[in-house]
Amino acid sequence: MVNYRFLGNSGFKVSEITYGNWITHASQVGNEQAIATVHRALDLGITSFDTADTYANTAAEEVLGEALKGQRRESLEIFTKVYWPIGPKGPNDAGLSRKHIFDGIHGSLRRLGVEYVDLYQAHRYDYETPLEETMQAFADIVRQGKALYIGVSEWTAEQLRASHALATQLGVQLVSNQPQYSALWRVIEGKVVPTSEELGISQVVFSPMAQGVLSGKYLPGRPAPEGSRATDEKSGANFIQRFMQDDVLTAVQKLKPVADEAGLTLPQLAIAWVLQNPNVAAALVGASRPEQLDDSVKASGVVLDADTLAAIDDALLPVAETDPEKTYQVSPKTRPGA
């Protein structure tokens, strides 16, 4: 079964393996298979589920809501996000204005079929909306009982500090940040993680397997396997290209004996690695088939010894991205539109 961790400086616990439905639901796989995969996650002890209104232009939330229908609501931790354009992508269909946040939460609750979400997250930072407006809107949603906690995604250390100060003034809890993080993408370690530790904010990390590259299935000098994420535009083929370099793929192959020595598969090693960071509350994993989750959940509770961690660094640090300045390049400087 899956272990639990506290989210930030709160009394709220989440499963350290959290199911995320970016790319898969209402896009990569059919609804029946998606629902079966969610049910398998539940069977394996995963109770935390992350989605966003922008995934498949709101359809992914509907699929997740259908999959969770009939489950005991109190036994689930449901996260969603707001920011990216949805619907017809009009002038107020994106960003973190008060209007879009309120329209966003009402739409998400309707699609998910719940009265509240446990964690409502700002999917990016909105440079075109005053932060005070954004945080006041989130605080009002918490007071109305439509969300219990506030989180953000891919915010910089300075943005986390400013938003945390406002949340404290408003009497609500900013408990999490959702960044990309893996043994190949470590940009949060320099500034975001130390600031978060100081403020009592946890990381809920996505792409712990670097879009599948750390599974070892992509080989240097060889074409990507047919049907894999690297060949499917709907599955994030563009996103994965940063890792599809021969020096990176060669380095990943060096992890095979490391994983064998630890008694883990390569995916388990990758997920366990991010969970060694005490500031990480959960690793988001997705799956296109139910059986894929059987492997992922075995990373929960794994403790990697110092020799294993050193061997991973020896293999990957020369090709890993560690520059903290990369955290300043994620959120668009202007609100995204159609």
Cite the active site residues.
55
Q: Do the strands 13-15 and 4-6 form a parallel or antiparallel pair, or are they unpaired? A: antiparallel
Structure tokens at 110: 């309707």
Count of positions (residues) in the chain: 338
Which residue in this structure is represented by tokens 């079929």? 113
In whole angstroms, what separates CA 295 from the centre of its chain?
19
Helix (H) or strand (E) holding 143: helix 131-143
Nearest-angstrom CA–CA distance, 136 and 150: 11
In whole angstroms, what separates CA 229 from the centre of its chain?
17
Which residue in this structure is represented by tokens 């796989």? 29
Nearest-angstrom CA–CA distance, 220 and 32: 35
The answer to whether 20 and 296 are in contact (CB under 8 A) is no
Helix (H) or strand (E) holding 273: helix 266-275
